[in-house]
Chains A and B, each alone.
Chain A
Amino acid sequence: MRRNSPKKPLVLLLVFVIVISTLLVVSAKNRNNVSWLDNIIHFTVKPVATFFSNVNTSIDGFFEYFQNKKELVQQVSELTYKNNLLEQKNASLSSLETENERLRQLLELREKYPEFQTTASSVIAKDGGNYSRFITIDKGEESGIKVNQPVLSQNGLVGLIFETGHGWSKIQTIVDPSTSVGCRITRTGDISITEGDNALINEGMLKLLYISKQFTILEGDIVETSGLGEIYPPGIPIGKIKEIKVSEHSNSQYATIVPTVDFSNLQEVLVITEK
């Protein structure tokens, strides 16, 4: 059995202190000349010091990287947020600009027909069916809207009021197969009738009927309301002639018209409440 001597550590400590003190005295004795002891000490300590120094640098760099990364991530997040805000603002301004343009055009339209009393209204629903084209707007009889009143947009004729209630009205558009409008070819002054058509409804077009052989209409001619039917005032653009055809059933001619109004993007309309 090994016996522990209580004096052994104390002796070791004493030896260690003496050695260190001797080294201290020897090294402090002449600072001008590097002693052999200094060399030994530095030679021994250098690799260890270098190693720890490198480790320290690496650790510092490591934490600095994370610190910088944290800052960069924060900056990126702030910039992304700012960018999103600006994008939103930009989108909102673009939307306001478009709305402003639309309203300005409506105002121009209203000024174009100063003799009529009109009510501006927004489109709230479009008939998603395939056999008819109706549009619902957000104003009704409380705004003086009545059945058979004409409806316009900034680009031309939309249709007429088909039904009205409190806070809503249904418009029968000019491309609906049940609608016909008295019209005039702007260039020649020839009078005719436009009508919605079963075959053209899904292409968003309408038909120009009763084209006499004396008519000298051309593709691209503008068609406007004639004002003869007592519903629509004269001079409102309806559309442009796309093609002149000969009917399959009879020998008569008809033309297809592309409406000036883009029904898929229609948002605001003007109802003529009093002529």
Chain B
Amino acid sequence: MEQANWVKRLKQYLLVALIFLLQFIFADKCRLFGVAPNFAFTFVLTVSFLREQKYSFLSALILGILLDAVSGRLFGPYTLLFMTVAFCIREFYHSAFSENFLIEAFYGLITCFITSVCFAFFISLFRGEFFTLISRTAWMEFFYNFVIFLVMLFIQKKCKKKRRSVFRL
């Protein structure tokens, strides 16, 4: 039992490493209209819907720190954002609803939208041009991230269903 838990943990953190590599290597190559998706953000959002809160907070922290280390001039915005997302999902979703794909997708939509707008606002504090950032980057980023989130959520649900059926057997 203990060994099974250990293997599960290992798999979970390998997945975090894989997501970071995906962000690190492929995000720049997956640009759509010049906008790159944020695989790390969509992953944190997806795992936040799991009932394993420790894992969601830890993956938010690890991915946030790693992403802050390689990108931009300020250290912290990604860590802050990912931790906030994990916290908000725990507070506003897990406390109010039981597991439901549609509600999770709706929450994901709202989170992606708020995140993109907030990030654009945060950047505009330094550079101005809030509306340019919204029109040129944020809306596309929101759409792209939401689509990837839906795919990840779907995969997560499938894996969960498969695991349940294995346990039932």
Interface residues of A (CB under 8 A from B): 125-132, 134, 136, 162, 172, 177-178, 198-199, 201-204, 264
Known: A128-B38, A198-B127, A199-B136. 20 other contacts (CB 8 A): A126-B28, A127-B28, A127-B71, A128-B23, A128-B24, A128-B27, A128-B28, A129-B36, A129-B71, A131-B119, A131-B133, A134-B70, A134-B73, A136-B70, A178-B73, A198-B133, A202-B31, A202-B33, A202-B34, A204-B34
Q: Give the interface residue-count category, chain B.
A: 20 to 34
Residue with the greatest number of chain A CB neighbours at <10 A, chosen from B24, B73, B123: B73
Tell me the smallest distance from the CB of A60 to a CB of chain B, in Å: 53
A4–B38 Cα gap in the complex (Å)? 98
**In the complex the two chains form, is A125's CB within 8 Å of B24's CB?**
yes
CA distance A202 to B28 in the complex (A): 11
CB-contacts of B87-122 with A (<8 A): 119-120
Chain B residues packing against A (C-beta within 8 Å): 23-24, 27-29, 31, 33-36, 38, 70-73, 119-120, 123, 126-127, 129, 132-133, 136-137, 141
Q: Which residue of B lies closest to A126 (CB)?
A: B28
Contact A130–B141 (Cβ < 8 Å): yes
| Given A136-B70, A178-B73, A202-B137: A130 and B35 interface contact (C-beta under 8 Å) | yes
Known contacts A130-B36, A131-B133: does B70 contact A177 (CB below 8 Å)? no
User: How far does the alpha carbon of A136 sit from the alpha carbon of B70 in the complex, in Å?
Assistant: 7
